Amino acid sequence: MASLSEFHMLSVLAQEMNMRKAAERLFVSQPALSQRLQNIEKEWGSRLFVRSQKGLSLTPAGEMVIKFVNEVVIAEEKVKESIQSLNTEVYGTLKIAVASIVGQNWLPQVLKKFVNTYPQAKISLITGWSSEILRSLYDDDVHIGIIRGTPDWKGVKIPLFKDSLYLVDTEIKDTNQILETDRPFIQFKSDSNYYQEIQDWWLRKFKTPPKRTIVVDQIETCKQMTLNGIGYAILPAITLTGMEKNIFISPLEDENEQPISRDTWLLGYESAFELKQVQAFVELIKQHIAEEQK
């Protein structure tokens, strides 16, 4: 049976599907890597990869072996993390999945503190829509997730912060002026939860859809187009630094004239919060939020 080091080698080969790139990642020569692969294939009694000028491709036997290899590698990492959690120092990899808007605008300050405070720990970061973050948690790909909106989550839920939604424009000073303009409403793609909040507010206030819309794929693109006077947008406070020039910001209000805001939550399974790197990260987040509120 192959050793754990050979399992890691097979995992890298399956990720790269290229002998040269895999050899570079493994810090070995291509001939040495090729010889090790041949020996492993003899042990399994079957070819695992087909070589060609375009790279590597998995054989049916290879797909089965790689699936098994990846399961072993993941299990090994979890065992190591559990062992390291017994120590007083913070080691191991902190696996986080974060809503893109939080990862771009809020999280970097927290990660900087974490890296400086715990230099022995590593960070694996995934960003995406909140629905994708939840999927990563359900699939056990990450330790903790940070999402926007109200989560349907049965594990640990820690509220982080709220931020209000604002109408942002270089010309429109108040939401009541929207129906008087022909300027386009710039929207960014997001999960259905965010869209629903905006649509509910819009239809409640105006009873009619926007005259013109521009849809972009990223919130930062939406913000930059707005700041450059192309149209108006509805943006959460987390994206606004207060340093923006020559723009008007008007808060969105609900039917009770209360500000409409978005919640941000930290989620995870109970077992993840037993890991020291997770405990340290959560504590740093709480400290960071407390400092922001001063």
pLDDT per position as a tens digit, 233-257: 999 999 988 777 889 999 999 888 8
Q: What mean pLDDT is predicted for residues 147-166?
A: 91
Q: CA-CA distances (angstroms) from residue 209 to 142, 204, 215, 242? A: 39, 11, 14, 29
Domains and CATH numbers, the chain: 4-84 (1.10.10.10), 93-160+263-293 (3.40.190.10), 162-262 (3.40.190.290)
Beta strands in 103-244 (DSSP E): 122-128, 144-148, 156-169, 185-188, 213-216, 232-236
Are 281 and 145 in contact, with CB atoms under 8 Å apart?
A: no
Q: Is the pLDDT of residue 16 over 50?
A: yes
* pTM (whole model) above 0.75: no
Q: Between these two residues, 258 and 1, which has the higher pLDDT value?
A: 258
Q: What mean pLDDT is predicted for residues 157-165?
A: 93
Closest CA to 252 of 204, 212, 183, 210: 204
